[in-house]
Chain A
Amino acid sequence: DQQVKQNSPSLSVQEGRISILNCDYTNSMFDYFLWYKKYPAEGPTFLISISSIKDKNEDGRFTVFLNKSAKHLSLHIVPSQPGDSAVYFCAAVKYDKVIFGPGTSLSVIP
């Protein structure tokens, strides 16, 4: 049973527009959540995190929103750039255990 879900395997967005990547989870006991970005032939790199006690965290073009009642979080990238094209993983953390979602492949079209 998947505890972290990313129901959209892929997403295409025009350059300059907003990219919204979604993630759902089933366990309300997670401490915090992470977003990772992965380019081909590389391991994932950390992008942004959010504590379970917050509902928003912003870092430059990246904003993560957490809706605890819906067990849903989303990553907003605005404006989207071609260099943002990558696979994005949502991950949930309880102490030191990390559970990853399956990833969403984002393509930003110039």
Chain B
Amino acid sequence: GAVVSQHPSWVICKSGTSVKIECRSLDFQATTMFWYRQFPKQSLMLMATSNEGSKATYEQGVEKDKFLINHASLTLSTLTVTSAHPEDSSFYICSGTGDLNQPQHFGDGTRLSIL
């Protein structure tokens, strides 16, 4: 089946630094990628939808200047958490699809811990 690789799987960094998370589709072209955030004991929250070559569409309440999403190619999307603070600590997961009428494929997620 289709594979989405997400990297890194776990990152710990100091408050104020920026962190980049990569999401790659390994065997298909992901024209659309989704970025989610998971809080403990809560359901997954969609942060943004990105289409290759265009600006991401952010969900209400998600700061686009804080969470920079780039989808420059059909196999790579990145999420950069800028000037990260402890409240940004969470589990972030991406998914991709080459056809919105088909199932989307999830990465393994990234656990971000800001000290």
Which residue numbers of A lie inside 8 Å of B, CB to CB?
A: 9, 34, 36, 38, 40-41, 43-44, 46, 49, 87, 91, 93, 95-100, 102-103, 105
Task: Scan residues 40-82 of chain B and give those whose CB is less than 8 A from a CB of chain A.
Answer: 40, 43-44, 46, 49
Q: From known contacts A102-B103, A103-B103, infer whether A97 and B111 are also in contact, taking CB-CB under 8 Å.
A: yes
Q: Count A/B pairs, Cβ under 8 Å.
A: 52
Q: Which listed residue (A41, A87, A95, A100) contacts B106, Cβ 8 A?
A: A100
Distance A44 CA – B108 CA, assembled complex (angstroms) = 16
Do the beta carbons of A96 and B34 come within 8 Å of each other?
no
Contacts A43-B36, A43-B49 hold; do A98 and B91 have CB atoms under 8 A apart? yes
Please give 13 more A-B residue pairs, beta carbons under 8 A apart, in addition to A87-B103, A102-B105. A34-B43, A38-B104, A43-B34, A43-B46, A43-B95, A44-B46, A44-B104, A46-B43, A46-B44, A97-B91, A98-B91, A98-B109, A100-B93
Q: Does B11 have its Cβ within 8 Å of any Cβ on chain A? A: no
25 pairs from A and B in contact (CB 8 Å cutoff): A34-B43, A34-B44, A38-B103, A38-B104, A43-B36, A43-B46, A43-B95, A44-B44, A44-B46, A44-B104, A46-B44, A49-B43, A87-B103, A87-B104, A93-B38, A95-B40, A96-B111, A97-B91, A97-B111, A98-B44, A99-B109, A100-B93, A102-B105, A103-B103, A103-B104
Which applies to chain A's interface (DSSP): helix, strand, loop or mixed?
A: strand
In the assembled complex, which residues on chain B have CB atoms less than 8 Å from the CB atom of A44?
44, 46, 104
